[in-house]
Structure 1
Amino acid sequence: MGKKNIPENNLAAEGLTVEGFTPTDHDHGSHDHGNYDHGNYDHGNYDHSGHDHGGNPFAHAALSGVPYTSYLDFSANINPLGMPKSAIRAARKALAELSGHYPEPTYHELRQAAAAAWEVPAENIVAGNGAGELLDATCRLAAWQEAVVFTPTYSEYARAARRAGLPVRCLPAFHPDHLPSSSLLKELPTPELKPRSLIFVCQPNNPTGTLVSREALAVLARIAAQKEGLLVVDESFLAFCPEEAACSSLPLLFSGLPVLVIRSLTKIYGMPGLRLGLSIAAPETAKALQAALPPWNVNSVAAAAGSAALVEREFLTLTRERLTRWRVRLVKKLTSAAAGGTLLQPLPAAANFLLTKITSEHWSSPQLTAALAKELVLVRDCRSFPELGERYIRLAVRRPADQDRLLAALTRLTVRPEP
């Protein structure tokens, strides 16, 4: 796919600019802001401050006295291959040479590297301090009337919208009981939108690992266009999927539809501690998004590491090949173990993580999470997704040796007395 000029959407023409935004512009209607609140769950006797995103080995280490490096973390969906060596070298060089200077404010080198890797114009790319910052800025981008999310899904869409004063409408779409037997969902509910609505889609969806067909996303984008809205597609995990080319929303953006794509570099390139995300949008939308962000929002070390990582095409190929193979292995091992009485049954997934259902009625997700933590294995308790209750655990795809350690811990738990 060669570089294309992306037509500007109608944000500027309709006066939807950063300057035009005021919290009082939002119609809060009758939507209940409490229906998707994940902040009231206890995930291991430590405070997440309302954010439930994994096992937090540092907090477990502080409570147990065991070094955090002793924990095997299946709760965070990070590339187990780690950072590319070139990115490590670039980060070290930037730390040594650039720490005494402010970052280059336009992030020219980073945006050029992303433009070359993704074959899009650099003017359409905006850098963020992680995908979360870009989500927040997108919600402040215009006088949006509401945000629509398809649940269960990543909770930060709803949180970012509420921080911007937006009502949030949740549409059930990804409950495991209603997903297809494959990992591809061919259609999503088609909402009746208010004018100037934001629609969020996670591609592939977190926590289910389900891909959404481009045709289904195109339907949503056309609905958004009719209502002067914006479809936000979070492709933070799509780089792990061999189906990326067939399922990315960039072609929809190139066609002139109101689409904004967010991609996280920290997951695929194994550097979550550096915090780095990029968005791709129509030119006027990108300008407005940049204006909504603080200056120097990405540090020089992260920018340098990201610029180097984006060049590593062979690293991406190797990652996809190995993680696809390791995911198949983990599914087979868990399925075989579940048939023999072990605790977790995996669901179909295309991502670098698996949603698994607890097969024993004697265990709940918080009980199993706590028991595995005592085995120094951390998993993602999915009770923070209200639709899933206490029956689901999410597992990252890790190396075979790590998988064997997880399976051994699960086997030990099945032969113990029920809690």
Structure 2
Amino acid sequence: MSENTAPLPLKEYLLALEPTAHGGLIRKSSQEYDIPESEMLDASASLNPFGTPFEHPYTGLKIESLLEKGLDKMEQYPDNRYLEFKKAAAKFTGMGVKPENIIPGNGSTEIIRLVAECIIEEGDTVLIPQPTFSEYEIQCKVLGAKIKYIHQEELSSLDGEILEEAKILFVCNPNSPTGKLLTREEVIDIAERCARNKTLLFLDEAFIELADPSKSIADMAEGNEFLFIQRSLTKSFAIPGIRMGFGIASEDFAKVLDNARLSWNLGCVADTIATTLLDMEGGANSKFLRESREFIETERNFLMEKLTRRGFKPFESSVNYIFVDISEFSMNSTELAQRMAAHGVLIRDCNSFQEIGNQYIRIAVRTREENERIASTIKLVVNEWGREQAEAMLDTNIKNASDCGRLGSNFSCDYYPCHFEGQDCTFCFCPFYPCKDERTGGQWIESSAGGNVWSCLYCNIIHEPEVVDDVLSVLVKEGRNKESIKKAWKNALETRL
């Protein structure tokens, strides 16, 4: 910057903002790992795995026809009243919601910003239960709000003192990334406590159509000036590239928000497609969405079982993604996500969520074939990582043996005694694995993921002190490579089998 150039007249708190990192992940990973985009599986974005309504002929919807219809209006401004959209959104929601309760939005982020702009003044406090959708925090910070974090578990016991100091409480139901769905009674209780303390409850129901729409409290919006409900269409209909959503509020509140929103915030294509999708027979309980929920439940149960078998700790979920605790692994969430991406599968590293650390991931529920690929890729990555760690330990032990003469019995091994008393654990990781020689006591066993895998459970030979001496005499002298491994096998094991 030139000495004579004045600094930009920006609000100081804006300088610390970070850009949203979503979008473009497939292209970025494809380029980084040299994998064609068409071969990347995105299990980081939580979209309806049942696909779009356009993929199911019984809906009678064709994207080409809707695009043509929308583009016919390209040379004119949209009708900023969005009368057809509001009518369709009210019909879709049901529960007594009227068109006058609807505020059109260009996706979730714009709706969050709109409400924040209309409610928050610089220095106001907002309550955000963690972990949850990061856009609440980002959009409120743009307005200069002070963020006060609470834990999700505290929602049921928030007292008046905490609520009184807050302009907005954000609640995501079902929550992202955990997938937990609060009951209707629990949400009503929160809404009533917020109203008593004049705190706006911003209730994000973006995923509720994929969980259980009967848990919505949209019917309460008209009678509660301190309640705003957000709905998103992009997740339920798997079309995130076409930004569209809507808010639900009392008629008076909705009128203010509708007047304050950006004019023409839905373009002709988004307006046409959104209105048509919302107008489907049955609304949130249309055949398409009912079958979507059934499909998600089946595939979520399948993927949960696979993840549990891998030793992960998946949390119970009500929706199309699974929150997973990987704290028992030495590999953190960032490294796991990177290793998965290198094999063409993208998962969500939850390190970006508030104060959550690097011990959690989120995995989207996909189709059966894709879920099998996710599970097999996790197994591959964990096995590769484990082998790398074990081989590093093996190389260290060989070096120590070279420096010290030999290690002797490694009684500090975490798994001692894994085979028998008097064992030598210098080779905690067998340099011959998988030898596939049943004379050692090793055998083929059925894998939990299907197929057979070589097991060393009943092999003791590599832990016999004299065998260790003979193997070390070769590997210390010649290093660990293919030829030295063959020679050590011949000298130390072949004569004993």
Question: Is TM (by shorter chain) over 0.5?
Answer: yes
CA deviation vs aligned residue, 1:123-163 (integer Å, no higher than 9, x gap): 11011110110100101113553211111111111111111
C-alpha contact (below 8 Å) 1:115/1:122 kept by paired residues: yes
| SS in structure 2 of the partner of residue 330 of structure 1 | helix
Q: Which moved more, 1:327-336 or 1:64-73?
A: 64-73
CA deviation vs aligned residue, 1:245-294 (integer Å, no higher than 9, x gap): 0x212133244352110000011011100111100001111111112211
* Distance across 1 between alignment mates of 2:151 and 2:200: 20
Alignment CA distance shift 1:98-1:148 (3 Å) = same
* Distance across 2 between alignment mates of 1:95 and 1:159: 32
* Distance across 2 between alignment mates of 1:52 and 1:376: 19
What does residue range 147-162 of structure 1 map to in structure 2 within 5 Å?
Answer: 147-162=126-141
| SS in structure 1 of the partner of residue 126 of structure 2 | strand
Partner of 2:183: 213
Q: Which moved more, 1:311-320 or 1:88-97?
A: 88-97
Q: Does 1:129 align with 2:97?
A: no
Q: Residue 126 of structure 2 aligns to which amino acid in structure 1? A: A
Give TM-score, length-normalised by structure 2: 0.68
C-alpha contact (below 8 Å) 1:84/1:269 kept by paired residues: yes
Q: Which moved more, 1:302-311 or 1:137-146?
A: 137-146
C-alpha contact (below 8 Å) 1:87/1:309 kept by paired residues: no
Q: Does 1:368 align with 2:347?
A: no
Q: Which moved more, 1:307-316 or 1:68-77?
A: 307-316
Alignment CA distance shift 1:239-1:305 (3 Å) = same
| SS in structure 2 of the partner of residue 210 of structure 1 | coil
* Distance across 2 between alignment mates of 1:59 and 1:386: 24
Rg larger in structure: 2
| SS in structure 2 of the partner of residue 387 of structure 1 | coil
* Distance across 2 between alignment mates of 1:254 and 1:326: 37
Structure 2: runs of 5 or more not aligned: 1-10, 55-60, 281-285, 390-497
Q: Residue 334 of structure 1 aligns to which amino acid in structure 2? A: L
What does residue range 241-390 of structure 1 map to in structure 2 within 5 Å?
Answer: 241=211, 243-245=212-214, 247-256=215-224, 258-312=226-280, 313-338=286-311, 344-358=312-326, 360-390=328-358
Q: Residue 236 of structure 1 aligns to which amino acid in structure 2? A: A
Alignment CA distance shift 1:347-1:142 (3 Å) = closer
* Distance across 1 between alignment mates of 2:166 and 2:319: 31
Q: Higher relative CO (CA 8 A, sep ≥ 6), structure 1 or 2?
A: 1
Q: Residue 121 of structure 1 aligns to which amino acid in structure 2? A: K
Q: Residue 84 of structure 1 aligns to which amino acid in structure 2? A: P
C-alpha contact (below 8 Å) 1:149/1:169 kept by paired residues: yes
Partner of 1:112: 87
| SS in structure 1 of the partner of residue 338 of structure 2 | helix
* Distance across 2 between alignment mates of 1:130 and 1:408: 34
C-alpha contact (below 8 Å) 2:120/2:143 kept by paired residues: no
C-alpha displacement at 1:351, in angstroms?
1.4
C-alpha displacement at 1:193, in angstroms?
2.3
* Distance across 2 between alignment mates of 1:214 and 1:193: 20
Partner of 2:171: 201
Partner of 1:7: none
CA deviation vs aligned residue, 1:341-367 (integer Å, no higher than 9, x gap): xxx321111111000111543211111
* Distance across 2 between alignment mates of 1:255 and 1:124: 11
Alignment CA distance shift 1:284-1:88 (3 Å) = same
Q: Residue 319 of structure 1 aligns to which amino acid in structure 2? A: S
| SS in structure 2 of the partner of residue 78 of structure 1 | coil
| SS in structure 1 of the partner of residue 229 of structure 2 | strand
C-alpha contact (below 8 Å) 2:326/2:360 kept by paired residues: yes
Alignment CA distance shift 1:67-1:106 (3 Å) = farther
| SS in structure 1 of the partner of residue 156 of structure 2 | coil
C-alpha contact (below 8 Å) 1:90/1:305 kept by paired residues: no
Q: Does 1:68 align with 2:41?
A: no
What does residue range 69-108 of structure 1 map to in structure 2 within 5 Å?
Answer: 69-85=38-54, 86=61, 88-108=63-83
* Distance across 1 between alignment mates of 2:259 and 2:304: 45
2:115 corresponds to which of 108, 113, 138: 138
Q: Does 1:163 align with 2:142?
A: yes
Partner of 1:16: none
Q: Which moved more, 1:62-71 or 1:361-370?
A: 62-71
C-alpha displacement at 1:418, in angstroms?
4.0
| SS in structure 2 of the partner of residue 306 of structure 1 | helix
C-alpha displacement at 1:114, in angstroms?
1.1
Alignment CA distance shift 1:351-1:212 (3 Å) = same
Q: Residue 108 of structure 2 aligns to which amino acid in structure 1? A: A
| SS in structure 2 of the partner of residue 328 of structure 1 | helix
* Distance across 2 between alignment mates of 1:321 and 1:309: 20
Q: Give the paired residue count.
A: 359
1:234 corresponds to which of 192, 199, 204: 204
Alignment CA distance shift 1:186-1:96 (3 Å) = closer
Q: Residue 130 of structure 2 aligns to which amino acid in structure 1? A: T
C-alpha contact (below 8 Å) 1:153/1:385 kept by paired residues: yes
* Distance across 1 between alignment mates of 2:49 and 2:260: 34
Q: Residue 36 of structure 2 aligns to which amino acid in structure 1? A: P
Partner of 1:189: 158
* Distance across 2 between alignment mates of 1:110 and 1:252: 21
Aligned-CA RMSD value: 2.4
C-alpha contact (below 8 Å) 1:55/1:73 kept by paired residues: no
Identity rate, percent: 30
C-alpha contact (below 8 Å) 1:52/1:384 kept by paired residues: no
* Distance across 2 between alignment mates of 1:107 and 1:373: 41
* Distance across 1 between alignment mates of 2:172 and 2:129: 8
Give TM-score, length-normalised by structure 1: 0.80
Partner of 2:152: 173
Structure 1: runs of 5 or more not aligned: 1-23, 25-32, 40-48, 175-184, 339-343
Alignment CA distance shift 1:98-1:56 (3 Å) = same
C-alpha displacement at 1:94, in angstroms?
3.1
CA deviation vs aligned residue, 1:106-131 (integer Å, no higher than 9, x gap): 11111111111212100110111101
C-alpha contact (below 8 Å) 1:214/1:248 kept by paired residues: yes
